[in-house]
Amino acid sequence: MTPEAIRQILEAVRQGKQDTDAAMEQLKDLPFSEMGFAKIDNHRQLRTGYPEVVFCAGKTLDQSEQIIRLMYAKNNNILATRASEELYLRIKALFPEAEYHAAARAVVIRRQAIPQAKSYISIVTAGTADIPVAEEAAVTAELFGNRVERIFDVGVAGIHRLYSRLELIRGGRVIIAVAGMEGALPGVIGGLVDKPVIAVPTSVGYGANFSGLSALLTMLNSCAAGISVVNIDNGFGAGYMASLINRTE
């Protein structure tokens, strides 16, 4: 709510065009609008097709279902992450258009057309076992209106695989690089391209990888510039961050 809007309400009151109660009702939401909380939400609703998101881990099946029902009632696209197949079957029974991305463990319900960004996002993995995290990022990015190029299993232990796909990787407006174990892939890519790289450590590995800590530290300490890092296994976070970067303003 801009200062002009506030002034108009006050003028309307002064001129008797609006009574006190109605004005109060409008001003009641003032702090939120002024601070932009609702703005974000409205913003998202206005960009038709942008999804609402529910993070299902740590929620009961009932809780997740209930939230999805509420979202569905608002006619929005919906993205449910960390969703079990069991949850999917429940949702499918309710809303037959629900899709399940098994590798990404994501349920998607598309109810509106999604406006598309012009540039694409490259999503790269070091190994086969990193694919589920990459798929979570990909499904997220796609539902937020981005084209995604998947380049999987090009880790630095056989770096020629990476080079053979380098043009495609470099073509993206932003690159998501997913790696477990040593986690060196984002740093190597960061040295080869001049696009922002979002690094996603995965918990893939064993022994002194300490559930992804090794990859996380590698990525944070990368000598190459142009890299920032999200939480271990956080495909959704990477996909969303990349969407914000790729957004055509």
Chain residues 2-21 in contact with a second copy, contact rule CB under 8 A: 3, 6-7, 10-11, 13-14, 16, 19-20
One-letter identity of residue 158: G
Within residues 21-80, the interface with a second copy by CB under 8 A covers: 23-24, 27-28, 30-32, 34-38, 40, 43-44, 53, 57-59, 63
Using the minimum distance from each CB to a second copy, give the nearer residue, 8 or 97.
8
DSSP 49-110: TPPEEEE-TTS-HHHHHHHHHHHHHTT--EEEES--HHHHHHHHHH-TT-EEETTTTEEEE-
Figure out which of the listed residues 117, 126, 134, 151 binds a second copy, where binding follows CB under 8 A: 126
Using the minimum distance from each CB to a second copy, give the nearer residue, 85 or 194.
194
Within residues 135-154, the interface with a second copy by CB under 8 A covers: none
How many whole angstroms separate alpha carbon 6 and alpha carbon 137? 41
Classified as helix, coil or strand, 249 is coil
Within residues 164-193, the interface with a second copy by CB under 8 A covers: 164, 166-167, 170, 173-174, 181-184, 187-188, 190-193
Number of C-beta neighbours around residue 74 at 10 A:
10
Q: Does 116 bind a second copy (CB under 8 A)?
A: no
Within residues 198-237, the interface with a second copy by CB under 8 A covers: 198-199, 201, 203-234, 236-237
CB of 91 to a second copy, least distance (A): 18
Figure out which of the listed residues 108, 138, 141, 241 binds a second copy, where binding follows CB under 8 A: 241
Q: Does 112 bind a second copy (CB under 8 A)?
A: no
Element holding 200 (H helix, E strand): strand 197-201
Q: How many residues bind a second copy (CB under 8 A)?
A: 104
CB of 243 to a second copy, least distance (A): 8
CB of 96 to a second copy, least distance (A): 27
Using the minimum distance from each CB to a second copy, give the nearer residue, 41 or 97.
41
How many whole angstroms separate alpha carbon 151 and alpha carbon 76? 30
- Cα–Cα distances in angstroms (integers) from residue 51 to residues 34, 57, 112, 173, 230, in the given order: 24, 18, 9, 21, 21
Using the minimum distance from each CB to a second copy, give the nearer residue, 110 or 224.
224
CB of 82 to a second copy, least distance (A): 8
Element holding 120 (H helix, E strand): strand 120-125
How many whole angstroms separate alpha carbon 242 and alpha carbon 10? 42
Using the minimum distance from each CB to a second copy, give the nearer residue, 2 or 96.
2
DSSP, res 178: E
How many whole angstroms separate alpha carbon 111 and alpha carbon 77? 5
